[in-house]
Amino acid sequence: MSPPAFFAKTHSSVWSPNLFADKVVLCTGGAGTICSVQVAALIKLGANAAILGRRAAHTSEVASQLATLRPGARVLGISCDVRDASSLIAAAEQTVKELGRIDFLIAGAAGNFLASVEQLSTNAFKSVMDIDVLGSYNIVKACLPYLKWSKGRILFVSATLHYTGSPFQIHVSAAKAAVDALSRVLAVELGPLGITSNVVAPGPIAGTEGISRLATESYMEAVRKSTPLQRLGEAYNIADATIFLFSEAGSYVNGDIIVVDGGAWHRQGSLGEYPDVLLDGTVIEGVRGMKGKKGESKL
């Protein structure tokens, strides 16, 4: 099996080829478009990996693709639900049994879709909170014994939506704000044990599943124009930030948030004309996964 074109560029050329030799990364949401590139970059730089995902066949397929990126690379594809703490404990145990250790943890499992407060059900709000927040907490708890041994690094994949009021993203904004707070507390509690905890906050990243689910082409063109650097980001930009934080260069960075968005959050605002889009009864449509009826949510 050959790697997909999506893995052609996973990181910048400045990093040493064997930077992470003999290290092991465990990543929830590791079969997703951003997280898989983060893991791919680490593999190319010498690491072995375990990726966790709910869809067994897809997770296994991505793991097989990742294993082709470096001769001798070992990559586990483990099916589990981050809301189930016992399945994560088993996944961490399997990773250590087969790969020997856990040095790096990436908590990247997340859920998202567009919905107004009127469209969003309590169950839908809870589902996102459970995946993003409870799932992040669960994987830290599962990996903590091994991270204490390796004096490892924790990295949460967050967002910038909650830095401003972002309409139709109340569920994700609340979840990511909680993830940021979780990381800050872990940085203080685990720092004395030699473990760092940080956050990487991607802006709009081209070619990702999140972009395809959340926005139309016309909206993304408006996002591009409003971004100070006048372009969308690439998944490898997130991987570069990950490499920095996991490398010796980032060893004294703890409890911080690295925003990788080209300056976009400083200008992020509303879909369409504010406040008309909120007052004219507009229903969010044309987004994959949404039912398109007022009062209904995806979950």
Flag the least confident range among 29-38, 69-78, 81-90, 265-274: 265-274
Q: Is 176 a catalytic residue?
A: yes
Q: Is the peptide bond before 202 cis (omega within 30 degrees of 0)?
A: no
Residue 158 annotated to the active site: yes
Among 136, 158, 197, 297, the active-site one is 158
The answer to whether residue 166 sits within a structural domain is yes
pLDDT score of 297: 35
Q: 99 Cβ partners below 8 Å, 6+ apart? A: 24, 48, 49, 50, 74, 76
The CA-CA-CA angle for residues 246, 248, 253, to 5°, reads 70
Tens-digit pLDDT profile for residues 7-35: 888 898 889 999 999 999 999 999 999 99
Distance, in Å, from the CA atom of 211 to the CA atom of 32, rounded to the nearest integer, reads 12
* pLDDT higher than 90, residue 114: no
Give a yes or no: residue 1 inside a domain. Answer: no
Tokens for 186, please give them.
Answer: 């872990």
pLDDT exceeds cutoff 80 at 220: no
Low-confidence winner among 12-26, 90-104, 218-232 (lowest mean pLDDT): 218-232
Q: How far apart, in whole angstroms, are the C-alpha atoms of residue 249 and residue 263?
A: 23
The answer to whether position 13 is within a domain reads: no
Is 35 domain-assigned?
yes
DSSP letter at 131?
Answer: I
pTM of the model: 0.91
Select the more confidently predicted residue: 249 or 283: 249
Q: Which residue has the higher pLDDT, 122 or 214?
A: 122
- Across the range 93-105, mean pLDDT stands at 98
Residue 289 lies in a domain: no
* DSSP one-letter code for 108: -
- Measured in degrees and rounded to the nearest 5, phi and psi for residue 95 equal -60, -50
Question: Is residue 265 assigned to a domain?
Answer: yes
Residue 36 predicted with pLDDT over 50: yes
What CATH code is carried by the domain that includes residue 124?
3.40.50.720
Per-residue pLDDT at 140 exceeds 80: yes
Which residues form the domain of 127? 18-279
How do residues 281-298 score in pLDDT, each as one tens digit?
666 654 444 444 343 333
pLDDT at 293: 39
Instruction: Indicate which residue of 23, 44, 176, 298 is catalytic.
Output: 176
Mean pLDDT, to the nearest integer, of 110-117?
Answer: 88
* pLDDT at residue 291, rounded to an integer: 43
Query: Distance between CA atoms of 72 and 92, rounded to whole angstroms?
Result: 21
How many structural domains does the chain have?
A: 1
Query: Residue 212: which pLDDT band, with cuts at 50, 70 and 90?
Result: low
Residue 44 in this model has a pLDDT that exceeds 90 = yes
Q: 239 in helix, strand or coil? A: helix
